[in-house]
Amino acid sequence: MSLLSLILIVTVGAPDIEAMQRAYSEWLDYTVESRGHVSQELAEAWNAPKMAGRAFVLMQPKSKEPVYLRFVQVDALDGYVPMKTYGWNAIEILVQDPDGLAAKFERPGSPFKVVGPPRPLGPNSPIRAMQAVGPANEVLYLTRVPPDFRGGPAKTPVDRPFIMIVGGPDQQAVRNFYKDLFGVETSDPVMARITVLNKAHGLDVETTHPISLARLSDRFSIEIDRYPPTATEREVRPGEIPSAISIVSVVVPSLDDLKVPTLTPARKITEKPYAGRRVAVIRGAAGELIELVEE
């Protein structure tokens, strides 16, 4: 049985918080749930002391699903290219009309750049998806699923994140990490085209890569991709969190039962949406940061 039940927050490190708020509110209909500055306690939980006092905005889809995007101010990192480093690399979000969004993103002034036009996942697949890059170099997979899809389709034109994509050099090590620590079963790898990954690494757009799915619950999954040899570890400024997609927060029944070293000791965090729950952060097998929030 999986100890991970739901994804609570996806944190994105961004140089310009106001630009992120405008982009997601005006173009994706997200609303501001809260805003403020990172507390000393949260910065210590992240083992990122320079993040204390940094501005953040917490946003929620129009559907009011309790799955949040949190944009936190980080200093710009020269040379960062989406999909070329290990760790968290994309947020897959439920949408109703990927073709309409692609057309919208082509308008003048759009903060989102289409890097993979809408296509079905495979021959005769009812799932249709597109890929775009946002203002902080975060990659979004915007996906329409059928009404009978496990966990349900989008309730609003742009709804909640439902899959997080992690990439690394050793896919089996990442699969074993989630299975051994959290009891999450992962599917056997299958070969799939990843357009945005191919473009980042200068490969033919039809090149396929092994991907595996770790299903946390009916509503949430983690896609585990094996990245090409040209991928590298992500550079992080000392004392900060990574740029772009930085941390994924997941809910666990108890922090006491997990046999894994945390970056710093668990501590209670009062701000939304933690509401006084204990929080600790661990590092995954691909270098990804996972924030564990006690249920």
Q: Do residues 127 and 146 lie in contact, with contact meaning Cβ atoms separated by under 8 Å?
A: yes
* CA pair distance 87, 248, nearest whole angstrom: 11
Interval 13-31 mean pLDDT: 97
3-state DSSP call for residue 99? helix
Assigned architecture for domain 7-294: Roll (3.10)
Q: What's the rounded mean pLDDT across residues 8-23?
A: 97
What tens digit of pLDDT does each residue of 179-218 get?
A: 999 999 899 999 998 989 999 999 998 999 999 999 999 9
| Own/partner long-range contacts of 18-24 (Cβ < 8 Å, ≥24 apart) | 19/111, 19/135, 20/57, 20/71, 20/134, 20/135, 20/136, 21/57, 21/59, 21/71, 22/111, 23/111, 23/112, 23/134, 23/135, 24/59, 24/69, 24/71
What are 83-122's pLDDT values in tens digits? 999 999 999 999 999 999 999 999 999 999 999 999 998 7
Whether residue 170 is predicted with pLDDT greater than 70 in this model: the reply is yes
Q: What angle do CA 231, 287, 196 make, to 5 degrees?
A: 40
Question: Average pLDDT of 245-269?
Answer: 92
For residue 50, the 8-state DSSP code is G
Kindly state the tokens that stand for 260.
Answer: 């894994």
Q: What is the pTM of this model?
A: 0.95
